Amino acid sequence: MTNNRAVTEAGIIEYSDTGKGMPLLFIHGGHSNSKETLFHKGFDKDTFRLITPSRPGYGKTPLTENGSAGKTAVLFISLLDKLHLEKVIVIGISAGGLTAIEITANYPERVSKLILISAVTKKWLTNKDNTYKKGKILFNPALEKYTWWLYRSFFKVYPKMAASLLAKELSKKVFPLEKPEIEELYNMVDKQRSKRGFVNDLNQDIPQGIINKITSPTLILHSLNDNAVCIEHAKFAANNILRSLLKTYNNNWGHLLWLGQEGKEPIADTLYFINN
């Protein structure tokens, strides 16, 4: 998978584009970018075309004036124009949920279906939340590369301990860590950087009522044990999107629904939704 760069009417955007067939637009979460592959798991590249842009502030997509979810939606629609794609399935993951909602609400003719995975669907954090405070310090654009370097170095030496620390941030459950899951987790972490994107995510919001405009069939997937984005975000989406279906899971890894063997169930539910 190679990364591409497009100059669109709305700005410069980095993206990956792999596979052929039905186009899926992945809108990644915090600390991620167009190199993200965890959520590609389960999608046959002979059946699906997987398009993953770096959101503004992440990867090589500049933040500039595109920091809001609404402006990011305009940028991503411009990318679809550049790729000559009239309609896609939008998959919003974690902090990418707000952009997925903006695209689906404002460009219904471009979205056949919406899938929200562990997604933020309203204002996520306030400056009183510990996650907000820690995020502002640890992932400040001046410090984040050192934070990630230290964590990855620690992960290489003490993989189980490093995975356990991250598990506490992502899940409300205490559970035994399996070696294949630790390896899969490191493959994800190894591609991550926060750059200017995560601090921007901490303050992101969307206009009240915009979620009610969504008319596309919508699948909402969320863990009952999610310790990063609480289940209330999924319930809020289900209550405000007319043609929506909410699926919940009692998985170990909470926020990371796709990780490990437990990922088979949400992947199967997603494929069924897409194909029916």
pTM of the model as a whole: 0.97
Distance of CA 37 to the CA centre of its chain: 11
- The yes-or-no verdict on residue 246 having pLDDT over 80 is yes
Mean per-residue pLDDT, 142-170: 97
Mean per-residue pLDDT, 205-227: 97
Give the integer Cα–Cα distance in Å for 147 and 231: 28
pLDDT, position 87: 98
Quote the mean pLDDT of the chain. Answer: 97
- The yes-or-no verdict on residue 237 having pLDDT over 80 is yes
- Give yes or no: 94 in active site: yes
> What are 61-105's pLDDT values in tens digits?
999 989 999 999 999 999 999 999 999 999 999 999 999 999 999
Percentage with pLDDT > 70 across the chain? 100
Mean per-residue pLDDT, 192-215: 97
> What are 93-140's pLDDT values in tens digits?
999 999 999 999 999 999 999 999 999 999 999 999 999 999 999 999
- The yes-or-no verdict on residue 1 having pLDDT over 70 is no
All structural domains of the chain, each given as residue ranges with its CATH number in brackets, are 3-275 (3.40.50.1820)
Quick check: 40 and 260 in contact, CB under 8 A? no
Could you say which of 32, 54, 68, 94 is catalytic? 94
Quick check: 166 and 221 in contact, CB under 8 A? no
Residue 21's Cβ-side half-sphere holds a number of Cα atoms within 13 Å equal to: 10
pLDDT, position 3: 85
Res. 2 pLDDT band, cuts 50 70 90 = confident
Give the integer Cα–Cα distance in Å for 223 and 169: 14
